[in-house]
Amino acid sequence: MKHILSALLALVMIPALAACGDGQTPGAAAVTANEAVSTAAPSVDAASDTDVGTEETAPSGRKALVVYFSRTGEQYTVGVIDKGNTAVVAEMIAEKTGADLFEIVPADDHYPMTYAELTDVAKREQKEKARPAYKGTAPELSGYDTVFIGAPVWWGDWPMIMYTFFEQNRDALAGKTLIPFSTHEGSGLSGFDRKLGSAIPGATVERGLAVRGNDAQNSRAAVRDSVNGWLDGLGF
């Protein structure tokens, strides 16, 4: 019974989250656009709310790294998946740009594989401002001028483990170009760009991308087109 109630609560949670998070309406314009095209095209939008340095184009020949966090198991609207939604997008970015990939994997993987339980753990971590450790160390960042950073939106924010990455690599990331991307089910980019700029002062944050998790799983060709178009716009 407890699980059924948790699942029902989880199902109604997502729309509410679009208006919570850190007190702003996360990715409001992108979410509206997403909803408008959701039956005709995958819901992928380059966010326009970047306020920390947007470039129209970028020089070619940039050496890029893609850092991402993503979960398998049961996820919202897609059932049980063996490749996470954000992982799908991360790999598309790497394929188009030739970037290296670094996956943030929890050192102690305490995250449940069922959606309702995962939302509880994530909420608790957010409330406690937890900084869960991740396995290994990030690649030597001095070799990269651009770092794409992606994650699922969790309760209107980056998952707390991403803040662990930001804080542990703050100095190495300052001065670089950072490009955020999210997967989500309604909240868009959720201020990932602004929050990234705050977490890493001195970085230039370029135009991010928000992709519906369900589209990443089930409309891959169309999502790939959108990802490639976004990257073209960034000069990749």
Ligand X SMILES: Cc1cc2nc3c(=O)[nH]c(=O)nc-3n(C[C@H](O)[C@H](O)[C@H](O)COP(=O)(O)O)c2cc1C
Interaction site with ligand X (CB under 6 A): 14, 17, 70-71, 75-76, 84-87, 115, 118-119, 122, 152-156, 183-187, 213
Q: How far is the CB of 69 from ligand X (least distance, A)?
A: 7
Rank residues 45 and 58 by Cβ distance to ligand X and give the closer one: 45
Rank residues 58 and 163 by Cβ distance to ligand X and give the closer one: 163
Rank residues 62 and 111 by Cβ distance to ligand X and give the closer one: 111
Q: How far is the CB of 236 from ligand X (least distance, A)?
A: 22
CA dist 94 and 73 (Å) reads 23
Rank residues 78 and 99 by Cβ distance to ligand X and give the closer one: 78
Q: How far is the CB of 143 from ligand X (least distance, A)?
A: 26
Q: How far is the CB of 184 from ligand X (least distance, A)?
A: 4
Element (H, E) at 228: helix 220-233
Rank residues 81 and 173 by Cβ distance to ligand X and give the closer one: 81
With b meaning 16 or more CB within 10 Å and e meaning fewer, what string describes 98-135?
Answer: ebebbbbebeeeebbeebbbbbeebeebbeeeebbebe
Neighbours of 198 (CB within 10 A): 12
Nearest residue to the partner ligand X, using Cβ: 213
Q: DSSP letters of 75-140?
A: ETTTEEESS-HHHHHHHHHHHHH--EEEE--BSS----SSHHHHHHHHHHHHHHT----BSS----
Q: How far is the CB of 91 from ligand X (least distance, A)?
A: 11
